[in-house]
Structure 1
Amino acid sequence: MKDVYITRISKFLPNEPVDNDQMEEKLGIIDGRASKARRIVLRNNQIKTRYYAIDEKGETTHNNAQLAAAAVEGLCDENFTVQDIELLSCGTSSPDQILPSHTSMVHGFLKNRNMEINSASGACCSGMNALKYGYLSVKAGETKNAACAGSERTSSWMKERVFQNEVEHLKNLEESPILAFNKEFLRWMLSDGSGAVLLESEPKGNTPLKIEWMDGYSYAFEMETCMYAGADKEENGTLTPWSEFPAEEWGQRSLFAMKQDTRLLGDNILKKGVHSLKMTYEKHGIGPEDVDYYLPHISSYYFKQGLYDEMKEQGIEMPWDKWFLNLQNVGNIGAASIYVMLEELVASGKLKKGDKILFHVPESARFSYMYAYLTVC
């Protein structure tokens, strides 16, 4: 087995940053009335700016595959071109289509050469699953390098046209706020962008990062669905897929809008996250004292203190001075978030040889968690 290093890192954030006052103009006002849920969600998540693949006229500037391709191209220069990539592995929760696969479309935009590709589906963990596929390929000697990426273009899923048939629900916000809040919640949480890394078996580059290990945990065996799209959630917690509804009901039920069961989210995302973190610590014989930079992907600053408190409660408290976050400035980019966080950490110039970095990436879809432990070389 070979060692695996992150030798190049890139990010791509489309267009200009969008502040809180511009959000509704970009995504569109539903039923001609400003959202009542928007201020509640923004007050809790504390995101100040984010990025959308939408121009000043409201037109789409990039699809998801183009965002991912731009990040992968950002890994390349005259010394390493797209022609040199041996494996392309990408993850997203917002693919542009059901088929072909997301990575097939990214490959199509790169127009480089015949090579192996892998598409990881899911939500935020899909970017980490894409990374692990590349990590295992290089580690096993199957490929000399792998370009791995995470990307999202959720803005197109959050435009007002997607929710037009839900207007009556939104009109009842004061009488039935939980229903409306669950329908609208993610509009004010998610944003667009991409990030990519190049994996190689030698420590090249200015700040190579050795991947010591990667772990994943799923709680789907005991938890019902929390975040979903392309389905309707029944009272018993099961999902009925879009394919089982008549076509005329797809829009009436907003089946292709992303939805979040916020009750399940608040009750479980932190407990399961710390439970799995504790397991990965025990598996590898490490603890918070063995981490110099802790990169948790949190969807909202609402969860920041709660995560700290839960870790303290379970005896694995992570000191605040080890946390590295960028949510306020770039928003929640789902599968791309951890890539963009790492790129900003490396670009900060703070890292020194021997530093240890821990990724902690949760996915609320049905409660999955991914971890990676890196050493600065």
Structure 2
Amino acid sequence: MSSAPRSVQIKGTGSYTPQKALTNNDLSKIVDTSDEWIFTRTGIKERRIADENETSSSMGAEAGRRAIENAGLNIDVIDVIVVGTMTPDMPFPSTACLVQEKLGIKNAVCFDVEAACSGFLYIMEIASGLLQTGRYRNALVIGSEKLSSILDWEDRTTCVLFGDGAGAAVLGLGEEGDTAGIIDFKLGADGSKADMLHQPGGGCAIPPSTESLAGRQHFLKMRGKEVFKQAVRVMGQAAVEILEQNGIESDQLACVVPHQANMRIIESLSSRLHIPIERFFLNLDKYGNTSAASIPIALDEAARAGRIKRGDIILLVAFGAGLTWGSSLIRW
């Protein structure tokens, strides 16, 4: 008789955020806005901005190094590296390959996944599936973004929302009989709403040109009100569905780690799940929306702050451009 499959566990977490903080008051000197306007609409007080020498790969490598150290592992046991990013260092090679070189890891499978703010949940499920084949031992999954590089600093509706940073986790198989680990994933996408949040220029559809640069096509574009409505809907849906399909009640959750995009969206999720906001881990005020880095940064900070303890059931939930969305239940 074959033994039961071993669970995929989070062995360690790590994060990195740039030193420079850009406050709402700082932004009010750049665009027509104010601390009160930004904070009341988003919950953001400041965000971190990478310096010119920092990239998604350098920030991701540092977050990854901290996660490997937290897991108590040597780099030679990491044989999968997956990076979720929508701001890669360059179109190719993958940011994961650049992270591999920076960390000195040999013989690892390396690739990127682009699912915007849902990226970390996407790469977690992909890496979990690879580990469960039995061909790999440990996977380093990283969400890393330098969103400041694609922001239009003349557009107050978008530049106030985003920041830079990276978060990471090491995934590995648990021992036989150990119930800790990832319980389930619920991912989804709707490409019919792709133009709600996108970066039009830079790919093969609108390659770099004098015209595309003059038309500011290489900056992030967002229809804010429509994105907000969709985010409230799909985050709630992803959370409710994964709880129902696993027979878990809201009051069994010790902590919810949501994508840190907007406080009003998170409050809506709190209301729909009937979970007090105090059981949500929030760092939105410090970092703003860091896209694929959002959940892993928050997860690392929650774990290190003791907000998550052995045996706790936690919920991760996100939405992003695409539109994409996802949720995951984990027994810590």
Question: Same-fold call, TM > 0.5?
Answer: yes
Q: Which amino acid aligns with 2:62?
A: A
Q: Of residues 305, 314, 324 in structure 2, which corresponds to 1:357?
A: 314
Larger deviation: 78-87 or 269-278?
Answer: 78-87
Secondary structure, aligned partner of 2:135: coil
Call closer, same or farther: CA 1:154–1:209 in 2, change over 3 Å: farther
Q: Which amino acid aligns with 2:312?
A: D
Distance apart, 1:187 and its partner CA? 0.7
Distance apart, 1:51 and its partner CA? 1.2
1:372 corresponds to 2:332: no
Q: Of residues 299, 303, 327 in structure 1, which corresponds to 2:265?
A: 303
Contact 1:158 1:257 in 2 (8 A): yes
1:263 corresponds to 2:256: no
Question: Tell me, which stretches of 5 or more residues in structure 1 are unaligned?
Answer: 55-59, 164-182, 233-240
Call closer, same or farther: CA 1:39–1:155 in 2, change over 3 Å: farther
Alignment partner, residue 295 of structure 2: 338
Q: Of residues 158, 162, 168 in structure 2, which corresponds to 1:186?
A: 158
Distance apart, 1:39 and its partner CA? 5.8
Overall identity of the aligned pairs, in %: 20
Q: Deviations over 1:144-178 (max 9, x none)?
A: 11111101111122264xx6xxxxxxxxxxxxxxx
Alignment partner, residue 41 of structure 2: 44
Q: Of residues 274, 282, 286 in structure 2, which corresponds to 1:325?
A: 282
Distance apart, 1:322 and its partner CA? 2.1
Distance apart, 1:37 and its partner CA? 7.7
Call closer, same or farther: CA 1:52–1:289 in 2, change over 3 Å: same
Call closer, same or farther: CA 1:255–1:39 in 2, change over 3 Å: farther
Q: Of residues 34, 47, 71 in structure 1, which corresponds to 2:63?
A: 71
Distance apart, 1:263 and its partner CA? 2.7
Call closer, same or farther: CA 1:17–1:133 in 2, change over 3 Å: same
Distance apart, 1:91 and its partner CA? 0.4
Distance apart, 1:11 and its partner CA? 0.6
Call closer, same or farther: CA 1:224–1:282 in 2, change over 3 Å: same
Call closer, same or farther: CA 1:19–1:80 in 2, change over 3 Å: same
Alignment partner, residue 17 of structure 1: 21
Call closer, same or farther: CA 1:258–1:39 in 2, change over 3 Å: farther
Secondary structure, aligned partner of 2:260: coil
Contact 1:293 1:358 in 2 (8 A): yes
Alignment partner, residue 218 of structure 1: 189
Aligned length, in residue pairs: 324
Secondary structure, aligned partner of 1:342: helix
Secondary structure, aligned partner of 1:61: coil
Contact 2:162 2:288 in 1 (8 A): yes
Distance of 1:97 and 1:295 partners within structure 2: 30
Contact 2:113 2:123 in 1 (8 A): yes
Contact 2:206 2:212 in 1 (8 A): no
Distance of 2:73 and 2:183 partners within structure 1: 24
Alignment partner, residue 154 of structure 1: 147
Secondary structure, aligned partner of 2:205: helix
Larger deviation: 244-253 or 258-267?
Answer: 244-253
1:35 corresponds to 2:26: no
Distance apart, 1:96 and its partner CA? 2.0
- TM-score normalised per structure 1: 0.78
Call closer, same or farther: CA 1:38–1:231 in 2, change over 3 Å: farther
Q: Which amino acid aligns with 1:219?
A: D
Call closer, same or farther: CA 1:253–1:286 in 2, change over 3 Å: same
Distance apart, 1:338 and its partner CA? 0.7
Secondary structure, aligned partner of 1:199: strand
Q: Deviations over 1:188-208 (max 9, x none)?
A: 1111111111111136xxxx9
Alignment partner, residue 117 of structure 1: 110
Q: Which amino acid aligns with 1:108?
A: E
Q: Which amino acid aligns with 1:211?
A: I
Call closer, same or farther: CA 1:188–1:138 in 2, change over 3 Å: same
Q: Deviations over 1:36-70 (max 9, x none)?
A: 4886334311212321112xxxxx13111111111
Question: Tell me, which stretches of 5 or more residues in structure 2 are unaligned?
Answer: none
Distance apart, 1:276 and its partner CA? 2.8
Alignment of 1:57-96 (within 5 A): 60-77=52-69, 80-96=73-89
Distance apart, 1:16 and its partner CA? 4.0
Alignment of 1:286-297 (within 5 A): 286-297=248-259
Distance apart, 1:219 and its partner CA? 2.9
Distance apart, 1:245 and its partner CA? 6.6
Distance of 2:140 and 2:246 partners within structure 1: 27
Distance apart, 1:215 and its partner CA? 1.8
Secondary structure, aligned partner of 1:266: helix
Secondary structure, aligned partner of 1:75: helix
Secondary structure, aligned partner of 1:151: strand
Q: Deviations over 1:202-255 (max 9, x none)?
A: 36xxxx96111222022335x3531100349xxxxxxxx663478221112211
Distance of 1:138 and 1:230 partners within structure 2: 35
